[in-house]
């Protein structure tokens, strides 16, 4: 495991992180009255599946995915989904939705008996899949971002999409290094 320099990140009062590249998604809305982000949910995504570096994820989250570009796209182009953050294999951080709003990343979900995790969570997508490890650059960005969010927001725990939607989702998958993230962020709670 090689060491990567963590990026220096800041969170503004409007919920945008600097210097994340901002790609605004229309797929978000206000949190319910009194709801605050208490849970950090880690996901993985690659479009086309198991391929990296293309525009597919950003297109999906901005409702511009061309269903004719790949057979899998025809199955998902109608979806209206988003995440707060996306971390590319290079470690580049992209933000789609401010932390002050509810991104549509968790779907049907439950955490500690509370349904509808989008209401009280933040979603971070890692460019990846369930069948190979994530990059050191991704962990460096993920740790820096997670640490910032835990310091600035009322987050209480972190977990995987697989844990809030068991049987329906498998991400971030068996190659995700939970101890590495937790040690880097120095928080308890969540999933191993």
- Look at residue 25 and give its three-state secondary structure: coil
**Catalytic residue among 38, 58, 125, 127, which?**
125
Which residue, chain included where needed, has tokens 């570096």? 53
- Do residues 43 and 126 lie in contact, with contact meaning Cβ atoms separated by under 8 Å? yes
Q: Where are the beta strands (DSSP E) in the chain?
A: 10-11, 17-18, 21-22, 28-29, 39-45, 85-87, 93-95, 102-103, 110-111, 114-115, 121-127, 157-160
Question: What token pair was written down for 49?
Answer: 């599946």
Ramachandran bin of 55, using left for φ above 0, alpha for ψ from -120 to 50, beta for the remaining angles: alpha
Nearest to residue 41, comparing CAs of 184, 179, 156? 156
Q: How far apart are CA 148 and CA 142, in angstroms?
A: 10
58 is a catalytic site residue: no
Exposed/middle/buried for residue 57 (C-beta within 10 Å: 0-12, 13-18, 19+): buried
Task: Catalogue the active-site residues.
Answer: 125
């Amino acid at each position: 495991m090689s060491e990567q320099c963590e990026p220096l990140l800041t969170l503004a009062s409007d919920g945008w992180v600097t210097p994340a590249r901002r790609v605004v998604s229309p797929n978000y809305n206000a949190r319910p009255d009194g709801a605050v982000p208490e849970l950090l949910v880690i996901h993985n995504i690659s479009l086309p599946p198991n391929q990296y570096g293309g525009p597919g994820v950003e297109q999906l989250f901005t409702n511009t995915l061309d269903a004719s570009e790949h057979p899998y796209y025809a199955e998902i182009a109608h979806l209206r989904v988003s995440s707060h953050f996306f971390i590319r294999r290079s470690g580049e951080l992209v933000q789609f939705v401010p932390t002050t709003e509810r991104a549509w990343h968790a779907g049907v979900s439950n955490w500690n008996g509370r349904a509808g995790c989008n209401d009280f969570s933040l979603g971070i997508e890692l460019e990846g899949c369930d069948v190979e490890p994530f990059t050191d650059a991704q962990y460096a960005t993920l740790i820096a971002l997670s640490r910032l969010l835990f310091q600035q927001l009322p987050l209480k725990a972190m977990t995987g999409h697989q844990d809030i939607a068991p049987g329906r989702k498998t991400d971030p998958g068996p190659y995700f290094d939970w101890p590495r993230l937790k040690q880097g962020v120095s928080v308890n709670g969540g999933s191993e």
